[in-house]
Structure 1
Amino acid sequence: MRFEALLRRLDRIAGGRHADLEVSAEMREHPKTRRAFTWITWLLAVEVLLGIAAVVVAVVIVVNGGPVPFAVWMRSVIVLGMTVTLFYFSWRASLGWYWAYQRLRLFAQIFPIITLVMAAIPNLYPAWMVTEQIVFSLIMIGVADILTGDHMRTAFRRPERPQRHSPMKPR
């Protein structure tokens, strides 16, 4: 229970004003929702492995005396960290937290665009890193596709906020 209290504090930071909004238990436990999060977990696991592989390749190149540009190190470490963060969002969304679904969907739609634009900048990354970025983007597009499907948009429709009672009477 203490662990969940700590996570709820983190949720408050990550979720902002939507941190307390939950989707219905019925939609959260729906077989299509469960299946979607299973696929998302597997795709994000592949993304993490891809990120680890990029760091390993960079290390091997350096150990063998080759140059690895600073941009490769930055991209590898930052994207690996962000992908791990997406696991957190996915886990919290699978528990029914609306904010986590929203964040996961947003990043799954934005990351491929940013990654592909960065990959298109001439001479910024070596060919192996450009290939890694393209594969990363394709997998992330798959995550976004699952999250924006009809069922998931229905399951994670913005819940109604409870009405707050104003101390002032209307005129």
Structure 2
Amino acid sequence: MTWESLLLKFDRLAGGRQAGVRIAEADRTHQRTRRAFAWIWWLLGVEVLLGVGAVAVALVLASSGAPVPIAVWVRTVVVLGMTLTLGYFAWRASDGWRWAYQRLRLFSQIFPVVTLVMAAIPGLYPGWMVTEQILFSLVMIGIADFLTSDHMRHAYGSIDPGATAAIR
């Protein structure tokens, strides 16, 4: 079993019925598509740094005896997990898998809203965490902006019928 066949099985779980649908190679390798993904990767890297930074701040505070609410610990773990999942989606989308693009676009539009609503709940998070959530949301909005551009919506709206994978 090759790595790609293993990934295709995972894609079937994550992508559902459209897990085997790829976009046209010309759209996948188009300069504007590649440039959009270069920015998306950079922005996801910023998200990872924000997540790791939040964990570091929480650890420093906890080790110095300051109380760190359970909501902060849960949020830091969830954000890092989400960011890694979005990285997987970005990787598969940059390979032309339509399902991954759709998931990445959906979550990059939903997560900022959820994050900002949670940040607005008085007393749930300390001030530094609220600031981190606002920054997280702004970066995520940037990712969504690239994914919803006219070019990207066109590129991932066209399907290459000869490039579908047999996924069981």
TM range (shorter): over 0.9
Deviations 1:58-111 (A, max 9, x none): 000000000000000000001111101100000000000000000000000000
2:131 equivalent to 1:125:
no
CA distance in 2, matches of 1:159, 1:97: 10
Which residue in 1 is equivalent to 2:88?
Answer: 88
CA distance in 1, matches of 2:160, 2:80: 35
CA distance in 2, matches of 1:10, 1:53: 30
Q: SS of the residue aligned with 1:66?
A: coil
Whether contact under 8 Å (1:98, 1:158) holds in the other structure is no
Whether contact under 8 Å (2:101, 2:156) holds in the other structure is yes
In structure 2, the gaps of 5 or more residues are 163-168
CA distance in 2, matches of 1:55, 1:158: 40
Whether contact under 8 Å (2:22, 2:160) holds in the other structure is no
Q: Between Structure 1 and Structure 2, how many residues are aligned?
A: 162
RCO higher in 1 or 2 (8 Å CA, sep ≥ 6)? 2
Could you tell me which amino acid in structure 1 is paired with residue 95 of structure 2? L
Give the 5 Å matches for 1:55-70.
Answer: 55-70=55-70
Whether contact under 8 Å (2:24, 2:158) holds in the other structure is no
Could you tell me which amino acid in structure 1 is paired with residue 33 of structure 2? T
Which residue in 1 is equivalent to 2:135?
Answer: 135
Percent identity over the alignment is: 64
Whether contact under 8 Å (2:23, 2:160) holds in the other structure is no
Q: Displacement of 1:114 after TM fit?
A: 0.1
Deviations 1:24-75 (A, max 9, x none): 0000000000000000000000001100000010000000000000000000
CA distance in 2, matches of 1:23, 1:3: 21
Could you tell me which amino acid in structure 2 is paired with residue 126 of structure 1? P
Give the 5 Å matches for 1:1-171.
Answer: 2-157=2-157, 159=159
TM-score by length of 2: 0.94
Q: SS of the residue aligned with 1:10?
A: helix
CA distance in 2, matches of 1:102, 1:11: 13
CA distance in 1, matches of 2:160, 2:16: 16
TM-score by length of 1: 0.92
Q: Displacement of 1:161 after TM fit?
A: 6.9
In structure 1, the gaps of 5 or more residues are 163-171
Q: Displacement of 1:130 after TM fit?
A: 0.0
| Cα RMSD for the two superposed structures | 1.3
Q: SS of the residue aligned with 1:157?
A: coil
